Each structure stands twice: as structure tokens, then as C-alpha cells.
């Protein structure tokens, strides 16, 4: 069973210990934590499970003995950046006792992890690789094919011109500044490869970029800045792109908390970000009988079409109001499956109906529909503003006598889509296997 030692005493140390205590319950991993003073001990919440606390300053000798006795797989140093001497002692004791050392910093680099982890391809799916510098990441990319989203800024881009076919494969995302763009052009990157936009980037936007350029790799620095890394990691996971993480050389070597968590997850299977049982939100999956009810859909574009097609499986009456309709929607009207009114929305259009879907491409019109529904007490769904929806339109699967409605709590629509697809596949194959 893996054994980790953490030199705590800082906020990061405490955060890490709390996260570890929550997530290692069933993993069999044991954690030892050292704090130098009683004060340091007091900062750490009492009763953390699976964590043995040791209080008291240690000399380098004592640390070496302690480490040798326990044979730790990994020693994580989260002591204060100013406590240089302590860090030096821990580092030396690790070398002498043969334990692997990682320095956690607020804003710094990660060479040791890089070197170690590059070779560490055992276990999981290699969906995340760690590199000590840009050169080694570029070298790695040279042995691969497929497009790459580079989110490392512009200063280090030159190192990636070593990648064969970089003019076609690499898509740098850089700041929208004339001098940055000029630099990119000088390196041989052309307009269709460049994404010029200032962050922060959400998971959704990262996901969209990866999909747009069909990236198989996403390269990121360990920027150490909160926000940014997890969004990239999540987008990589959602799209199946491989995440390459590169360390930074700072005044002192070390890695950020985010990257440390990703590393622990990959190396020891500790899912550090599965927090306390989450509040499931207020969206209760109510299955309601809409047989014979009328649903007015305003708009007959891409989204309205998708939803109308779904609704038609549920024995309700669909009335569509739109200035213009997609051919498929018009065809449904021709076959008398729906009623289509080709006109501009008018407030009186929804009076007396049962449900309304506002799915025009105009924010103002959708807002007007929403207000009319509120006035008339009609449940409404507003496709461009979830806050205005009385009910969500979930991802729907209906097969093998089972009906499933999927929501990602309104927080990640791409995830709702992905989960819907996955559940549909499972219903096709997994249902029988489980019997």
C-alpha cells in the first residue's frame, strides 16, 4: 500500500490533507503528516481519517531516520516558501533515504515530477502526461500525429517549431495583441491556426476549441494560477484529447496544487476532487404525463427541430410558431404531425396552452415569450437562458421499454450530451449483460 508523507503547516498543506482524508477512505493509502509546532498542529482539523499527525521540529538526521523507517513512496513538501532551510533538510533527507520528493508551491515549477512521471506510464490510460520542459514535450509530439491545441502562451512557441509539420498540426492560443501575432507569423504560423483570445476559458470553450480543430493533444503549462488548469483538464477528458502538462523553472522548483492533485490522481488513483457528497441542486426529474397536452414551440431552427422530433415520441400535440422553418419541420407539418404557423410571435399565441418552449434565435423575443408565460401561468423553457426555465428539456433516451432523462444540472451541456449518448449505448448492450 502506498505511503505518503506530507510536511504541512501551510494553507495548501491543510487543503491537501483535507482533500486526501476525504478521498482515500477505500484506497488503503496511508498518509503521515508532519507539522513543526503545536500551532501548526492546531491549524489542521482534528480527526482527519487515515492521517497520522506528527508534531515537532526535526533535524535532517531525524527526518532521514523517520523516512527510512517508513519507506515513503512520496514526500510532499508544502512548508512555507520562506522556510528555505526546512525545505533543504527535507530534500536532503529524501535523497538519503531514497524517497521521492515533490515541492508544492503556489506559483512555481515541477521538474522532478516531470522527469519521474514521464517514465511513469504504468497503470491508467496515459490521458495526462507530465513533462519537465517544452523541449521534451515538443520531442514527444514529434513521435505522434494529430492536431495539437497549444495553450502555453507565445514566448515559448519557438520551441514547438521543432515539431515536424508544425505549420499544419499546431494551433497556438495566444493573446490578441499585435506584437504577439507578429511573432507567431514570423515563426511560420498562419491565420487559420491561430486562436487569439484572452482568457479565462471555461471548460465549454476549451471543449469547443478542441473539437473545432480536432485536437488530439492539449498542451498546458503548470501555470500555478487557480482556475484555468482544471478547465483544460476537464475539456481534455470530455473530448478524449491527451493532456500534456509542462513544468516551469522558477526561483525554486515545485508544482502547483492543481497539478499535484492531477498527479496524485494519475499515479495513485486518488480522486482528490470528488468532494463531499454534492448538493444535487433543485432539479427533480419529474416524469409527467403530456398525453394530449399542447406544447407551443416558438422557433423552428436547429434546436426547436431537435426538441420537436423528441416530443413527437410522447403523444402530445405540438404547435410551432416561427418566421421560417427548417425543411424537416415543414415536412412534419405537411404530414400533419405538427401544426405550423409561419409568422412572427405574438403574445396572444400562447394563451391557453399547456407548455411553451422559447427557442428563437432572438434573446429579446425569447424574453418576451418568457414574460407572457409568467403572466399566464404557463410553464416555459427558454433555450438560451436556463435561469428562466421552469423545466429543463433533458437529454432523452427511449429504448427497450426504458425512458431516461438526463441533465447535468444545467452546468455542462456537453456533458449532458455525452452522458445521454453513453447511457443509450449501455441500454443497447449492457442491459442484457447485467441480467
Ligand X SMILES: C[C@@]1(CC(=O)O)c2cc3[nH]c(cc4nc(cc5[nH]c(cc(n2)[C@H]1CCC(=O)O)[C@@](C)(CC(=O)O)[C@@H]5CCC(=O)O)C(CC(=O)O)=C4CCC(=O)O)c(CCC(=O)O)c3CC(=O)O
Ligand Y SMILES: NC(=O)C1=CN([C@@H]2O[C@H](COP(=O)(O)OP(=O)(O)OC[C@H]3O[C@@H](n4cnc5c(N)ncnc54)[C@H](O)[C@@H]3O)[C@@H](O)[C@H]2O)C=CC1
What does 416 bind: ligand X, ligand Y, none (CB cut-off 5 to 8 Å by kind)?
Answer: ligand X
- We find the least distance from the C-beta atom of residue 340 to ligand X, in angstroms, to be 19
Residue 278 C-alpha cell reads as: 454534492
Q: Which three cell numbers stand for residue 184?
A: 507567431
Q: Is 298 in the site for ligand X (CB under 6 A)?
A: no
Strand pairing report for 294-298 and 195-196: unpaired
CA atoms in the 13 A half-sphere facing the CB of 191: 1
Cβ contact 172:154 at 8 Å: yes
Query: According to the binding rule CB under 6 A, does residue 386 interact with ligand X?
Result: yes
Smallest CA-to-CA distance from 302 within 323, 320, 324, 326 is with 326
Considering the complex, what minimum distance in angstroms separates the CB of residue 372 from ligand Y? 12
Among 62, 186, 385, 428, binds ligand X (CB under 6 A): 385
Q: Which residue is nearest to ligand Y (CB)?
A: 301
The answer to whether the CB of 221 falls within 8 A of the CB of 259 is no
Work out whether 305 is an interface residue with ligand X (CB under 6 A).
no
Residue carrying C-alpha cell 506528527: 54
Q: How far is the CB of 147 from ligand Y (least distance, A)?
A: 25
**Which of ligand X, ligand Y, none has residue 307 at its interface (CB below 5 to 8 Å by kind)?**
ligand X
Q: Identify what 301 binds: ligand X, ligand Y, none; CB under 5 to 8 Å per kind.
A: ligand Y
Among 293, 337, 339, 417, indicate the residue that binds ligand X (CB under 6 A). 417
Nearest to 260 by CA among 26, 17, 16: 16
- The DSSP line for 113-151 is HHHHHHH---SS---EEEESSHHHHHHHHHT--SEEEEE
Q: How far is the CB of 205 from ligand Y (least distance, A)?
A: 14
Residues that bind ligand Y (CB under 6 A): 298-304, 321-325, 344-345, 359-362, 365, 383-384, 413
* Binding window for ligand X (CB under 6 A); candidates: 111-119, 144-152, 182-190, 388-396: 388-396
The listed partner (ligand Y, ligand X, none) that binds 140, CB under 5 to 8 Å by sort, is none
Residue 256 vs 412, nearer CB to ligand X = 412
Distance CA(189)–CA(130), nearest Å, equals: 25
| Pick 298 or 380: Cβ nearer ligand Y | 298
Cα dist from 52 to 29, 31, 55, 257, whole Å? 12, 6, 10, 21
Tell me if 238 sits within 8 A of 215, measured CB to CB: no
Per-residue b/e over 106-134, b at no fewer than 16 CB within 10 Å? eebbbbbbbbbbeeeeeeeeeebbbbbbb
DSSP assignment letter at 216: E
Q: Select from 215, 299, 307, 378 the one that contacts ligand X (CB under 6 A).
A: 307
Quick one: 155 or 363, whose CB is closer to ligand Y? Answer: 363
Contact 73, 63 (CB under 8 A): no
Verify binding: residue 420, ligand X, rule CB under 6 A: yes
- Shortest Cβ 358–ligand X spacing (Å): 9
- Indicate the residue among 199 and 394 with the shorter CB distance to ligand Y: 394
Distance of CA 417 to the CA centre of its chain: 15
Minimum separation from the CB atom of position 176 to ligand Y (A): 24
Nearest to 363 by CA among 400, 332, 391, 388: 388
Taken as a whole, the chain contains a residue count of 435
- C-beta atoms surrounding 434 within 10 Å: 7
Nearer to ligand X, 30 or 417 (CB): 417
Say whether residue 203 binds ligand X (CB under 6 A): no
Query: Which residue number, 73 or 204, has a Cβ lying nearer to ligand X?
Result: 204
By rule CB under 6 A, what count of residues binds ligand X? 23
Interaction partner, residue 392 (ligand Y, ligand X, none; CB < 5-8 Å by kind): ligand X
**DSSP character string of 248-317:** ---SS--B-HHHHHHHHHHHH---TT--SSPP--S--------TT-EEEEE--SHHHHHHHHHHGGGT-E
x-or-dash string of contact with ligand X, 327-366, rule CB under 6 A:
----------------------------------------
> How near is the Cβ of 305 to ligand Y at its closest, in Å?
7
Q: Which is nearer to ligand Y, 120 or 384 (CB)?
A: 384
Task: Decide if residue 426 touches ligand X (CB under 6 A).
Answer: no
Q: Which of ligand X, ligand Y, none binds 59 (CB below 5-8 Å, type-dependent)?
A: none
381 in contact with ligand X (CB under 6 A): yes
Instruction: Summarize as ranges the residues that interact with ligand X (CB under 6 A).
Output: 204, 306-307, 381, 383-386, 389, 392-395, 407-410, 412-414, 416-417, 420
Amino acid at each position: 500500500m502506498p505511503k505518503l508523507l506530507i510536511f504541512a503547516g501551510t494553507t495548501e498543506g491543510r487543503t491537501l490533507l483535507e482533500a486526501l482524508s476525504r478521498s482515500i477512505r477505500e484506497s488503503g493509502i496511508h498518509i503521515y503528516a508532519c507539522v513543526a509546532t503545536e500551532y501548526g498542529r492546531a491549524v489542521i482539523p482534528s480527526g482527519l481519517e487515515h492521517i497520522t499527525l506528527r508534531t515537532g521540529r526535526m533535524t535532517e538526521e531525524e527526518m532521514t531516520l523517520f523516512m527510512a523507517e517508513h519507506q515513503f513512496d512520496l514526500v510532499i513538501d508544502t512548508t512555507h516558501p520562506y522556510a528555505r532551510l526546512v525545505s533543504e533538510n527535507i530534500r536532503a533527507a529524501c535523497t538519503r533515504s531514497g524517497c521521492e520528493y515533490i515541492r508544492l508551491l503556489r506559483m512555481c515549477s515541477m521538474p522532478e515530477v516531470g522527469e519521474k512521471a514521464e517514465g511513469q506510464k504504468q497503470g491508467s490510460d496515459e490521458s495526462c502526461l507530465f513533462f519537465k520542459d517544452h523541449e521534451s514535450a515538443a520531442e514527444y509530439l514529434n513521435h505522434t500525429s494529430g492536431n495539437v491545441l497549444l495553450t502555453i502562451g507565445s514566448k515559448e512557441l519557438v520551441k514547438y517549431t521543432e515539431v515536424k509539420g508544425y505549420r499544419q498540426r499546431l494551433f497556438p492560443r495566444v493573446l490578441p495583441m499585435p506584437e504577439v501575432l507578429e511573432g507567431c507569423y514570423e515563426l511560420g504560423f498562419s491565420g487559420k491556426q491561430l486562436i487569439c483570445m484572452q482568457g479565462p476559458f471555461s471548460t465549454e470553450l476549451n471543449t469547443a476549441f478542441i473539437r473545432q480543430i480536432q485536437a488530439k493533444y492539449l498542451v498546458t503549462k503548470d501555470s500555478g494560477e487557480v482556475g484555468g488548469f482544471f478547465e483544460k483538464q476537464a475539456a481534455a477528458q470530455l473530448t478524449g484529447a491527451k493532456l500534456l502538462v509542462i513544468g516551469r523553472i522558477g526561483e525554486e522548483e515545485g508544482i502547483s496544487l492543481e497539478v499535484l492533485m492531477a498527479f496524485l490522481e494519475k499515479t495513485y488513483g486518488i480522486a482528490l476532487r470528488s468532494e463531499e457528497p454534492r448538493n444535487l441542486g433543485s432539479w427533480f426529474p419529474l416524469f409527467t404525463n403530456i398525453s394530449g397536452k399542447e406544447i407551443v414551440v416558438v422557433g423552428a431552427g436547429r434546436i426547436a427541430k431537435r426538441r420537436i422530433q423528441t416530443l413527437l415520441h410522447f403523444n402530445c400535440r405540438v404547435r410551432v410558431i416561427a418566421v421560417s422553418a427548417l425543411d424537416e419541420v415543414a415536412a412534419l407539418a405537411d404530414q400533419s404531425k405538427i401544426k405550423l404557423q409561419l409568422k412572427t410571435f405574438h403574445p396572444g399565441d400562447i394563451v391557453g396552452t399547456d407548455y411553451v418552449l422559447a427557442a428563437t434565435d432572438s434573446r429579446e423575443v425569447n424574453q418576451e415569450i418568457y414574460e407572457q408565460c409568467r403572466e399566464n401561468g404557463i410553464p416555459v423553457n427558454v433555450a438560451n437562458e436556463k435561469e428562466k426555465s421552469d423545466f429543463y428539456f433533458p437529454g432523452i433516451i427511449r429504448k427497450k421499454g426504458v425512458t431516461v432523462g438526463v441533465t447535468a444540472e444545467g452546468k455542462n451541456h456537453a456533458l449532458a450530451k455525452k452522458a445521454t449518448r453513453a447511457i443509450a449505448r449501455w441500454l443497447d448492450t449492457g442491459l442484457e449483460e447485467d441480467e
